Amino acid sequence: PPVGDLGGLTVLITAGGTREPIDPVRYISNRSSGKMGYSLAGAAFNRGARVILITTPTSLEPPPGVDVVRVETALEMHDAVMNRYAEADVVIKAAAVADYRPRLKAEQKIKKEGDTLTLELEKNPDILFDLGINKMEGVTLVGFAAETENLIENAREKVRKKNLDLLVANDVTLPGAGFGTDTNIAKLIYPDGSIVSLPLMDKPALANRILDEVIAIRSNHS
């Protein structure tokens, strides 16, 4: 593995949008492409980290050298993350986790019958929140937030509630930001409420910038 400023650290990264099954052939998901998480995984590996990438199905090829764990649903991602949390020095949750899943998965393909169909949804666990409440000394927790309104207020609230060291927030309504794009326009939000606004960056460059912040946060703590 390459030598670099993340040498000796294990970085756990989640990527992609979860898929929540409705029946054997259908699911609910979101527009996450996985690009941000895969960029982070590649960048962390190139800087010497041991990388665990917990990913939903995406159209991307995982970067060589990373340990890949494949999941589909939020519940599977929750289990996979909890299984590997003890190994991690840094956790970066770039995945877009569905907040709700269908309460029941129909055993057979649902038939086209009535004019309307109601799906009952049930809340998924908040993986990052569960990591935050069990945060061990020396672990750095980084979250992402895609917002369409009140970006800063929502982001500050999330950093606090989820006990994060850093939140990368982006307004997904801006052109060039967020889901599916090759670029992002991010704001870095810290636990003290301070904010750094970054310019439009491609996702690999933003990944390296986030890793620079992780190193700075870790050196301030030690």
Per CB under 6 A, residues contacting ligand C5P are: 74, 93, 95, 97, 99, 124, 126-128, 143-145, 158
The contacts found for 62-68 with CB under 8 angstroms, 24 or more apart, are 62/38, 63/38, 65/1, 66/41, 66/42
Least distance from ligand C5P to the Cβ atom of residue 152, Å:
13
Give least dist CB 184 to ligand C5P, A.
Answer: 14
Is the Cβ of residue 117 or residue 136 nearer to ligand C5P in the bound state?
136
State the catalytic residue, choosing from 30, 46, 150, 184: 30
- Flag whether 128 is marked binding: yes
Q: Is 158 annotated as a binding residue?
A: yes
User: Smaller CB distance to ligand C5P: residue 163 or 183?
Assistant: 163
Return the closest-CA partner of residue 217 out of 44, 209, 47, 113.
209
CB of 142 closer than 8 Å to CB of 91: yes
115 in a labelled binding site = no
Active site residue 30: yes
Residue with tokens 């390459």: 2
Angstrom distance (rounded) from CA 195 to CA 173? 19
Could you tell me if 125 and 134 are in contact, meaning their C-beta atoms sit under 8 angstroms apart?
no
* Binding-site annotation: residue ranges: 99, 109, 125-128, 144, 158, 162
Give catalytic residues, as residue numbers: 30
